[in-house]
Amino acid sequence: MADLKFLEEITMAKGISGFEKEATRVMKKYLEDCTDEIVYDNIGSIIGIKKGTTDLKVAMTGHIDEIGFVVKEITDAGYIKVHPIGGWMGQNIPAHTCNITTRDGKEIVGVFGSIPPHGKGPEARDKVTAPGDSFLDIGVANKEEVTALGIRIGDPITPRSEFLPLANPKYLMAKAWDDRVGAAIATDVLRALKGVETSANIYACGTVQEEVGLRGAKTVGQMIQPDVAFAIDVCFSKDLPDGEKSDVKLGCGVTLGVLDGSVIAHTGLLKEMEKICEELNVSYALDVLPFGGTDSGELHKVGAGVVNMTLSIPSRYMHSHRTIIHEDDYDATVKVLAEFCKRLTPELLEEIKADKR
């Protein structure tokens, strides 16, 4: 079963793209007891390493950055204009609270303001404010009060939320599941393999700056030069009242990414993961996403190419202050990835590669 204390700590940590240190510190805390070494790239990605008995390398990445904002401007009246970091939708912003973190670590709470609807016509009332036109109200009278608090241009602004099991406690709500869930799964795979001898060296990676261009995946891939790489990320749960319906939904088990806008899964690896799911009697679904991308978009292009695919966790309300995942999907993904790491040998890797030859 998932360690809810760990999941609460890693989701509640502040860590928008470019400012991930608090979140990587949490990941490090839970990696220290199950790794042989912990290293970083030069932009902040964390890599926990479990040594194997051969030269094989398996990398699992979950991007540890979350979407947020930075301070763009301070008005004379003391409002904070913002620059969005990552893919915000305007309708997910008004009336929500955030933390501004100053250079010296002070936290200031603000609420995203909006103009009251009273007296507006229907068209004006229904218009959504663009994320880049949003503003924070921190409850001061003027610009001087803002600067006296130590707030400066470029300070990170992180969504405020809470970690909350819902009516069915397997439904877990928090901010930053995109993609702390992937970083947590990579960590928990190594925790599950503690004391287990593996042929491959296993790398659990919390990559940075995915939301602004898959940047950590590129540097981590170049550092590790893996033979096999899994990106672990969230996908859309297709079980909402309106919209597309499919087997990819909360509680479906492991979601195997067939393709997205950045990668086509290595067919040999996809078949091996299907086989493992079936042998372990773990339910799974196949996901085709014609747009978007994950760390796989950079990982599969390292060197002469990497055997790669994405494993996803269905989520509701992605890129908002409150996203929901299902604990069963988390547990199933950890189980299947751990089994792959146990099974991989040089001979099995050659069988997987042969699917392309």
* Residues labelled catalytic: 210
Burial (Cβ within 10 Å: 0-12, 13-18, ≥19) of residue 195:
exposed
Q: Are 62 and 184 spatial neighbours (Cβ–Cβ below 8 Å)?
A: yes
CA torsion, ordered 299, 274, 250, 328, to nearest 10 deg: -100
Neighbours of 103 (CB within 10 A): 10
Buried b (16+ CB within 10 A) or exposed e, 201-227: bbbbbbbbbbbeebbbbbbbbebbebb
Q: Are 183 and 220 spatial neighbours (Cβ–Cβ below 8 Å)?
A: no
Residues 6+ apart with CB under 8 A from 258: 264, 265, 270, 286, 287, 288
C-alpha distances in angstroms, 309 versus 123, 209, 223, 333?
Answer: 44, 19, 19, 13
CA-to-CA distance for 312 and 256, rounded, in angstroms?
6
List the beta bridge partners of residue 35. none
Q: Are 82 and 132 spatial neighbours (Cβ–Cβ below 8 Å)?
A: yes
Strands 254-259 and 284-288: parallel
- The alpha carbon dihedral of 116, 83, 66, 310 has a sign of positive
CA-to-CA distance for 302 and 221, rounded, in angstroms?
6
What string of DSSP letters covers 302-356? STT--EEEEEEEEEBS-SSS-EEEEHHHHHHHHHHHHHHHHH--HHHHHHHHHTT
